[in-house]
Structure 1
Amino acid sequence: MAGAISDFSANEVPSLCSRLGLRTGDRDESFKSKFKYAERRLFEKSAAELIPIAVRLLEEVDSYNLSEALAKLQETGQATVTELTRRRIMALFDKRPYSTEFEEIDFIRRIWPTGRMLSVFENVATEQTLDDDLFNAIVRNNDWNNRETLEAVGYLTCSQRQFFRFLEEVTSPLTQSREVQAELAAAVNEHLRHDGCQLIIIRRLSGSPVYEVRPAIVGSPADDAISQALAAFDTDTVHARWIQALDRRDADAEGAITLARTLLEDVCKWIIFEAGESYEEKDDLPVLYRKLAKILNLAPDGHTEPVFKQILGSCQSVVESLGSLRNKIGDAHSPGPKKVKPASRHAQLAVNLSGTMATFLVSTWATNKKG
């Protein structure tokens, strides 16, 4: 903060400090050392008193360093995303670009003011900035990988506000193609949820979701159990679909209902394929489930015990109802003028039922394979 104040002229520093609520002084003291003039007065204030001073100072200067220092002060005592989670999310970009729509350096510039940040190298020209470093390392020489670039801009140590800005920008529809955006948001949320945060859809831009980091809505213990079962079965497709459904369950009811059905379709197709049987691409969920029920011996007609016939018949009804619900109020078809708009409770019901059924099918298949 003293550095930002000392950027003003010696004549201006006393009046600036006065406007900020700091102890007044004379110009002679300021002319001796602007930095020390400000530092002495700042040391007289508590951390709590420094926050409104920094806010007022930012109204007069544009300083990334000061903005970061203020954000970290304001975040003191709050729940934070750990360095481990930041590193896990950073690892998502080890084998993928930050953006499908921007060059790497242009994407970084959208988040960090690299032209006003100091070079990370010692013994370089004083006018060299971090932007010069990035241009040399990314554009000219291709020396840095994505991990090294993020470390250079301070990704691991920046304020949580700045970290969230990165997450929201990297999952923006302006930054990613539609296919990559949904998959990346789900992958980020898989790590964020451990620290009580999640990316949720807050609005749409030309039909594409716009995400914002918010405190995670605490789910049920069943969510974790289902996640573990589906991750063990297939991480890349089935588990990713489940995470996407969870992410949308409270913020995008129509999308969540569509994903609930798609999750069951994925599970049915995977097990049918692993069983060496076949299906048609045109097969809808009820048809897929009937084929799978024969493979897993889940058809009600295959059992004589009344209670099992009733339970398995109910399972079949759940699957058929999920397909019907998705057709009626999901986002897979044109809404039309009379379409019912689902509430979050409808999405919760659909996603929870789908996850439970998917887990049951996966577990049954695992048991059958063991003989």
Structure 2
Amino acid sequence: MAARAKTQLIPLDTLRNRIAEALAANVKSYNIPKVCTGLGLAPGEDNEAHSSKRIYVKNRLIGFEKPDLLRIADDVLKNFENTALSDVVSEMTIHAEHRITDITRRDVLKVLNDLDPLFGGGNLFDGLNIISSEPLSYEGLNNFNFLPTLAQEINQHYIRNDDFSNEELLIRCDALTCSQTRIFVLLEKLLDPVVRRGDDQAYLANALNDILKVDGFNVVVVDEQSGHPIYAVQRTATGVIGAPKNLIFAAIKAKPDLYFTDAINNDIGIRNDTDALLYDRFLTDSGLLWTTLAEWWQEREKLPNLTEAKRSLYIRLLLSVKETSSPGEFALFDTYYHVFSKLLGDQLPALIPQVYLHYDPRTIKERGSNPVLLRQRMDLLLLLDRNVRIVIEVDGKHHYAVSDKVSPVKYGDMVAEDRRLRLTGYELYRFGGAEFKDVTLAKGKQAIGPATKQMAIDFFQQLFERHNIKAKL
């Protein structure tokens, strides 16, 4: 597995400067105090704004931390177009965690050397302006300057002569230093059917994917125009194909009584939702964090703050775990939250108990000897970034025996279902019930011994390492 590109760390003062510069470039000095007040900044004297608009704004941003600065930046961008500010915001949000390396950028540029012409029949400077910090224009190309402009250098060494390769041209236009958003827009421009089509377009898409996949990205068809594919750069889906739609979990006693509220949209409700929970917010391929789940619970239960919501939700989920009477499931669940919530904080993925993967509205008794679904519920589930779904099962006798007698048929059914689950993209990890010998789970007494606790910690640490989640004790 290739090493991930480092998280982009942009100083907060850079963001403050970009906000101040954006307002200074777009707002008259006599309006600056009013605009700043509208953004939630402290008022000041008019003569201060007349002296320096940029300094006036910057002074009022000192003391604001990242969340508030990003909110202010977003408000500014809603009213004023500013590329420099937009770039910084995208680097601190959309592209903060998942990045392509400098090596990947350089390899991409080498692939682009094969393109002739670079932007097909399109305007060269329009394409280069996607990444260039210096605006490029054909105006004034023949004017004599003691220090030639970048546009004049390109005209002399790329348009009129072939001194520059595509790679060198793009490097001179900031391809190695521009924001990740800009480099991705450039690639999408080069794949636009207006620029190239057919075999040329397909060849470039395949060549780019061979390089981008190392860093977890690829170019995929997202639309079509007059029969030609439109490509976009996206994170590579590594897990289950398709976005999660329903999350039904934490059943306590009764099987959830489901019904459709909108069969066309696949919207469902639970009549007895005190026995099972239905997460009714939009689920993305970025996974589900404990904080996000707790925010949903806070709103659902009308709790005063997030701390109380986490405490209340943990108790509710633990109740469903205890109802299984599984010492192993209890030990894994309890150890996970008590140990890893301290290590990962707001980045802790939610460990969700008793999740319905399949659902048959009829009971096993009603189906008799002809069940439609062999397995409906999973013990524990993690939803991670890039559609990674991890199922954790703790096996008891019911997984491989009937009436305490080993059943090869039942065991065969279980492993067949495991294969099917893995082939659809799920990760599956099984624990044997006998591994949890030092766990006590009884009314009024629950205890997890040191051997089991360490086993659980080791498992989750190795699992997080596999998925590039830093959780070192």
Q: TM-score with structure 1 length normalisation?
A: 0.51
- Do the aligned partners of 1:105 and 1:134 also contact (CA within 8 Å) in 2? no
Deviation digits for residues 310-357 of structure 1, max 9, x if unmatched? xxxxxxxxxxxxxxxxxxxxxxxxxxxxxxxxxxxxxx99xxxxxxxx
Match of 1:115 in 2: 135
| Bigger fraction of residues in helix | 1
Amino acid paired to 2:21: G
Alignment partner of 2:89 out of 37, 60, 70: 70
* Separation (CA, whole Å) in 2 of partners of 1:150 and 1:203: 27
- Cα deviation for residue 77 of structure 1 reads 4.1
1:87 is matched by which residue type in structure 2? Answer: R
Q: Structure 1 residues 17, 133: CA separation in 2 closer, same or farther (over 3 Å shift)?
A: farther
The Cα of 1:27 is off from its aligned counterpart by: 0.6
Structure 1 residues 129-278: aligned runs within 5 Å: 131=151, 134-135=154-155, 137-139=157-159, 143-218=163-238
Range 102-111 or range 1-10, more displaced: 102-111
Measure, in 2, the Cα distance between the counterparts of 1:84 and 1:175.
26
Q: What CA RMSD, in Å, does the superposition of the two structures yield over aligned residues?
A: 3.3
Asked if 1 retains the 8 angstrom alpha-carbon contact of 2:95 and 2:180, the reply is: no
Please list every run of 5 or more consecutive structure 2 residues that lacks an aligned counterpart in the other structure.
Answer: 1-17, 138-143, 241-422, 425-473
The whole-number CA distance in structure 2 between the counterparts of 1:146 and 1:69 is 26
1:4 corresponds to: 22
Q: Structure 1 residues 32-41 or 105-114, which shifts more?
A: 105-114
Evaluate the alpha carbon distance shift between residue 51 and residue 136 of structure 1 in structure 2; reply closer, same or farther with a 3 A threshold: farther
After superposition, give the CA deviation of every residue in 1:295-324 in whole Å (9 maximum; x if it has no partner).
xxxxxxxxxxxxxxxxxxxxxxxxxxxxxx
- How far has the Cα of 1:109 moved from its partner? 4.0
**Ranges in structure 1 where 5+ consecutive residues have no aligned partner:** 118-123, 221-347, 350-371
Residue 69 of structure 2 corresponds to 50
What's the % identity of the aligned pairs? 27
Question: Take 1:143 and 1:54, find their aligned partners in 2: how far apart are those partners?
Answer: 41
Q: Which amino acid aligns with 1:190?
A: D
Cα pair distance change 1:143/1:66, threshold 3 Å: farther
Report if the CA contact (8 A) 1:201-1:212 is conserved. Answer: yes
How much has 1:107 moved relative to structure 2? 2.9
User: How far did residue 49 of structure 1 move?
Assistant: 1.3
Alignment partners' CA distance in 2, 1:178 and 1:33: 54
- Against the structure 1 CA distance between its residues 193 and 109, is the aligned structure 2 distance closer, same or farther, given a 3 Å change threshold? same
2:108 corresponds to:
89
CA distance in 2, matches of 1:95, 1:203: 26
Q: Which amino acid aligns with 2:189?
A: E
Amino acid at match of 2:85: L
Letter in 2 for 1:158: C
**Residue identity matched to 1:163:** I
Aligned-pair CA distance for 1:185: 0.2
Give the deviation of 1:88 after TM superposition. Answer: 0.5
Cα distance in 2 between the residues matched to 1:133 and 1:52: 40
**Runs of 4+, deviation exceeding 6 Å:** none
1:116 positional shift: 7.7
Distance 1:215 1:132, change over 3 A: same
Shift of 1:113: 7.9
Helix, strand or coil for the counterpart of 1:68? Answer: helix
Which residue in 2 is equivalent to 1:269?
Answer: none
Give the TM-score, by structure 2 length: 0.41
Q: Which has the higher strand share?
A: 2
